[in-house]
Amino acid sequence: MQGSQTAAQGAALAILTFLFRLRWAIAVLLILGSAAGGYAGFRHAVPAPNVLLLAGASALLTAWVGFVHFRHVGLAIITALAPLLGMIAASLAGHGLGAADLLAIYGLGYIAAGLAGGETVRRVLSDGVEGAAKFSLARLLAPCAVTGIAGEAVLALWLFRAAPSLSLHAAAMLVASIAYGLVGTTFGASLLPFGESFHTAANRLRESRERLLRPLTAIVEGRWALSVAGIALVLAVLGWFGAAPFLTHGALVSKPAIWGASALVAFLLAFAVARDWREALAATLALATFTLLALWLWGATAGRFSQAALIEYAAVSAAAYLPMLVIMGGSRRFQASGDVHAVARLRILEEIGAVPYFAVAAAVLAVLLWMILHGSVGVLAVMFLLGGGAAIVVQPAIATALEWFIPRRRSVNQLYGRG
């Protein structure tokens, strides 16, 4: 089994090596695809000037956050534009989607791009420029693909029967945003120079951020994990009571069978990445907590849950799911190298560092800017914050708490310090 997996990884890397030799051609194809899609989608319906202005301002704001994070102007611009180019490429599918839907999908794509940019910077600093973007794409390809499948599954389960065309349009935009966010960022990064000034600034910043983030990694310690898991349980109960009107009387969401199917999909896909039922269950419970709080938030602000809100929920829940998968996949790699689960979880949180925090912050700021036109998108910004907390804090804490309640079997060598 291990041999076949290694062979598959070697084949995938060989394919990526060939593709990155053609990186200039692929970058041009991505831009041409976006231009062709934009022409097809906007030739009969050009967005209003204020919408174009706000879209440009959002991209500029996310690029600024990216620069604060990466300390590289070119990478920051590519990271901000990549998911937007993907959405332009799929603009024909955007007809019928509202501004909040598109913002939620862009936020998801930016989180994929931000994770790719952050992984590329980490590899440039640790291993050098050669191959950094390629290995970043290889590292994030499976989590992004699984996230796209999860988002499409949620849209199919909840929306396809009631509005099939809307469900398909939203799914196409969601996949395009994630795909361009990952592929566009990594291939674009492979074309950029990383000079000495970048290395100096980025290394200095990474060291300072490691000190700031070190207390947050304490969530993988038993006492803190139990505390965070307990807080999440309290919030979930409050969210349950707050969401009760939706869950009992809302025609769109009072469907226990579909809720069960959604939870099963989330669990199985997480298990496919983590190969560990505790990690997969922790991801499912973290998403459940996020869902209850999101429904409560909608009930407190809008008083109703529409079909458009289902698209927003699918995009933001996918945005929360993606960092979880990245963390679980990284933990699994450290376990394969011999670390016990707790140490592996700590090491991946230290390795990923501030990347998901900046990605979520950029998505939130990009959404908040649109409150000038639509005040209701403030709810969407809060949802991105809740989703980020569920991914970065709640899921690792619940996984650690589950290990405390249901200890893993340990070998004799582990018990007596010989392995």
Q: Compute the half-sphere exposure of residue 350: CA atoms within 13 Å on the CB side of its CA.
A: 14
Residues 265-301 pLDDT 10s: 999 999 999 999 999 999 999 999 999 998 888 878 8
The Cα-based distances of 74 to 17, 64, 81, 198 in angstroms read: 23, 11, 11, 11
Using the 8-state DSSP alphabet, how is residue 43 labeled? Answer: S
Which tokens is 115 given? 């994770």
Which residue range forms the structural domain that includes residue 418? 1-419
Task: Name the more confident of 415 and 54.
Answer: 54
Per-residue pLDDT at 417 exceeds 70: no
How many residues in total does the chain contain? 419
What integer pLDDT is reported at residue 418 of this predicted model?
46
What integer pLDDT is reported at residue 419 of this predicted model?
44
For residues 366 and 107, is the Cβ–Cβ distance under 8 A?
yes
What integer pLDDT is reported at residue 220 of this predicted model?
85
User: How many independent structural domains does the chain possess?
Assistant: 1
What integer pLDDT is reported at residue 5 of this predicted model?
58
Residues 295-305 pLDDT 10s: 888 878 876 66
d(CA 107, CA 112): 9
Average pLDDT over residues 372-386: 87
What integer pLDDT is reported at residue 243 of this predicted model?
81
pTM above 0.75, yes or no: yes
d(CA 184, CA 181): 6
Looking at 147-151, 255-259, 312-316, which range is the least confident one? 255-259
Average pLDDT over residues 55-59: 91
Average pLDDT over residues 412-417: 51
Average pLDDT over residues 97-109: 92
Q: Judging by beta carbons within 10 Å of its beta carbon (0-12, 13-18, 19+), is residue 346 exposed, middle or buried? A: buried
The Cα-based distances of 193 to 76, 102, 149, 256, 282 in angstroms read: 13, 32, 34, 52, 40
pLDDT band at 130 (very low <50, low <70, confident <90, very high): confident
What integer pLDDT is reported at residue 252 of this predicted model?
65
- What DSSP letter does each residue of 159-177 carry, written as one string? IITT-HHHHHHHHHHHHHH
d(CA 204, CA 225): 30
Residues 172-219 pLDDT 10s: 999 999 999 999 999 999 999 998 899 999 989 888 888 888 888 888
**How much is the mean pLDDT over the chain?**
88
pLDDT band at 32 (very low <50, low <70, confident <90, very high): very high
Per-residue pLDDT at 1 exceeds 60: no
CA dihedral over 245, 390, 87, 371, signed as positive or negative:
positive
What integer pLDDT is reported at residue 413 of this predicted model?
53
d(CA 262, CA 149): 12
**Contacts with 62 (C-beta within 8 Å, 6 or more apart), sequence order:** 79, 80, 110, 362, 363, 365, 366
What integer pLDDT is reported at residue 374 of this predicted model?
77
Average pLDDT over residues 121-130: 90
For residues 396 and 349, is the Cβ–Cβ distance under 8 A?
yes
Which tokens is 234 given? 């309290």
d(CA 354, CA 249): 41
Which tokens is 102 given? 């598109």
Three-state SS for 90? Answer: coil
Residue showing tokens 């910043």: 205
Residues 329-343 pLDDT 10s: 999 999 888 888 888
d(CA 54, CA 34): 20
Residue among 302, 257, 281 nearest 400 (CA): 281
**Contacts with 191 (C-beta within 8 Å, 6 or more apart), sequence order:** 23, 24, 27
Give whichever of 44-48, 49-53, 117-121, 127-131 has the largest mean pLDDT: 117-121
